[in-house]
Amino acid sequence: MTGLFVGLEITSWRRNRRLLVALVATTLALVVATVWATTGDIGRQQARREASHEAREEWTGQGDQHPHAMAHFGDFVFRPSGSLARLDRGVQSRLGKVLRIEAHRQGSPFRSDASQAGTLARFARPDAAFLLQVIVPLLLVFLGGTGMAADRETGRLRLSLVQGARARSVLGGRFLALWGLGLTLLALVVGTSLATSAGLGEPALPDGRRLVGFVAVHALFFAVVAAGVVSATVWLRDARSALLALLGIWVVATAVLPRTTTGLASALYPLPSQDAFRTLLREARQAGPDGHDPRDAKLKQLREDILEEYGVDDVKDLPIDIGGLLMQADEDFGNQVWDEHYGRLGARLGRQSAVATQASLLNPFQAIDVLSMALAGTDLAHDLDFQRQAEDYRRALVASLNDEHAYGRALTGEGRKSSAAFYAGLDGFTYTRPSAGQALQPRLPALLALLAWCALLLAVVFRGGAHLERGTIP
């Protein structure tokens, strides 16, 4: 019986020309957006590989050099795309793509796409996730928003019940039709992206677990939307009220609440300005040793300790190059300063994001947004993880160079230079993505919220069915 009502619902959509046009337009938009985003992401990854290759070529092509010269020659690290960035770009466009790796210098990635895109950067980008999370629910509202209420107004519902249909079957059929449409569009998006990737010769399945998670959370989200639409049409008085209420909820949930959360998170956990943060770092750094100045008073004790360790009275008599050790002392101090200040900043950023996650308890649209970004690898947590790994790489690289400076071939090499082979032997940066589970862990409240919303709204639907059968809803 439920299947019959699913079929009836789909038939009614086919017969309504306007709704059919909207459905076809949405489907086309999804396909175009997915192909565009997938192609763009593949191009981006290719450009990133080329940039990394070019940077590496330059590094290994420097020939024999002094280690500290190479420490300042440095490296560049280029941000990789999120695992499923072709489906959900998240906040990727606002994140810097390039990070400078150099001794005595830490910073944040720069050259974000948003900073170069001009005024248009303030508008949304229509990737598959945006369409699935904002436009498809609107489509489901128009497709299902008036059906039940219109059936009540015209007497069709009473006719169905009199003929032996159960109200729950009617409601179940509407719910399944809407949910099925959402799932079909979701499958279309995923299939299009995989087909486009395969067509361009890229690996079709970058991360299977994350993809399964992406599909699962969106399926859950569509269940919430479908149940919400059917609930509104059961419990509200007439078709117009149902449609208006659903549209109002859509506007509030997609446009107003997320922005209100932004203001709240910023007010609760304000961030320092760029200049204030840089000034703080600079002043803290200046309070420490300057490895470039052998006469620096703060390094005096270290010099004396080294002289004592080697049993000599003069730096010239040391069997090592003390410069390497002084540089590393400078570096260690800088790392401490960075860990303290940037760690505090990172914690504050995390607390802000936690407010957004908690807000998703009230708003399933925000819940799916944060879950989708987390699974796609395009959220703030992934950015901070990338920066942390890049900083670890920087520290390891600089420590290797300082070590070579102090103890290595630079001591005896011609012009105190180490060989090109040494530099080529130092590993470049490779980024290890967090697992799907690690990515989801901070967003568990959002997942639980979606599950709760789904259960609640389905309960409301079934309760509505019971009331319809008893006749307590006319």
Partner 1 sequence: MMSLAVRFELRALLRNPAGLVALVGFLAVGALALVVGERHVAQWKDEVAQARLAQAEAVEEARSYLAAGVPGPEDKPRIDIRKPQWQDQLAGSRIVREPTPLAGIAAGAVDPAPAAFLVTRWARPLSATGYRIENPELAAGAVDLVFVLTLLVPLLLGVLGLGIGTRERESGLAPLIVVQAGGLRGWMVARTLTVAGLAGAASTLLCLVAGLVGGAGVAEVGQLVAFALGYTGLWSGLLLAVNARVNTVRAAAFGFGVIWTVLCILVPAVATEVAYGRVEQDFGIEATVDARAQRWGVWEMDVEDVLIELQARYPELDTDVEALSKDNENIARGAIEASQFAARLADELGHEREARHLAERAAWASPAVAVALGIERLAGVGADASSAYRHRLGQAVEARVDWVVHRAWADQPLTGSDFEALVAGTPEAFVARAEGLVLPSSALVLWGTVAWVLALAGLRRDPD
143 vs 461, beta carbon nearer partner 1: 143
Q: Do 246 and 143 touch, CB atoms closer than 8 A?
A: no
Binding mask 54-73 for partner 1 (x = CB under 8 A): xx--x---x----------x
Longest pairwise C-alpha distance within the chain: 106
Q: How many residues line the site for partner 1 (CB under 8 A)?
A: 94
290 vs 403, beta carbon nearer partner 1: 290
Whole-angstrom Cα distance, residue 399 to residue 332?
9
Residue 276 three-state SS: helix
302 vs 466, beta carbon nearer partner 1: 302
Candidates 43, 155, 199, 474; binder of partner 1 (CB under 8 A) is 43
**Side chain identity at 229, as an amino acid letter?**
V
Min dist CB 109 to partner 1, Å, is 9
Residue 259 found at the interface with partner 1 (CB under 8 A):
yes
Q: Do 350 and 344 touch, CB atoms closer than 8 A?
A: no
Residue 337 found at the interface with partner 1 (CB under 8 A):
no
434 vs 456, beta carbon nearer partner 1: 434
Candidates 64, 290, 332, 403; binder of partner 1 (CB under 8 A) is 290
Q: 65 has which bridge partners?
A: 418
Q: Which of 225, 179, 178 is nearest to 363 (CA)?
A: 225
Structure tokens at 427: 């590993």
- Interacting positions 199-218 with partner 1 (CB under 8 A): none
Q: Which of 415, 455, 429, 430 is nearest to 63 (CA)?
A: 415
119 vs 432, beta carbon nearer partner 1: 119
- Interacting positions 358-417 with partner 1 (CB under 8 A): 370, 373, 379-380, 383
Structure tokens at 442: 């901070």
Structure tokens at 148: 């039940």
- Interacting positions 418-437 with partner 1 (CB under 8 A): none
Residue 277 found at the interface with partner 1 (CB under 8 A):
yes
251 vs 444, beta carbon nearer partner 1: 251
Candidates 1, 3, 28, 110; binder of partner 1 (CB under 8 A) is 110
Min dist CB 430 to partner 1, Å, is 17
Provide the 10 A C-beta neighbour count for residue 412. Answer: 7
Stretch that binds partner 1, among 7-15, 40-48, 222-230, 394-402 (CB under 8 A): 40-48
Whole-angstrom Cα distance, residue 227 to residue 450?
12
Whole-angstrom Cα distance, residue 215 to residue 129?
11
Residues in Cβ contact with 74 at an 8 Å cutoff, skipping those fewer than 6 apart: 100, 101, 102, 103
Min dist CB 417 to partner 1, Å, is 13
Stretch that binds partner 1, among 187-195, 196-204, 236-244, 392-400 (CB under 8 A): 236-244
103 vs 454, beta carbon nearer partner 1: 103
Min dist CB 456 to partner 1, Å, is 24
Interior/surface letters 278-291, b for 16+ CB within 10 angstroms, e for the rest = eebbeebbeebbbb
Whole-angstrom Cα distance, residue 163 to residue 353?
53
Candidates 51, 183, 411, 460; binder of partner 1 (CB under 8 A) is 51
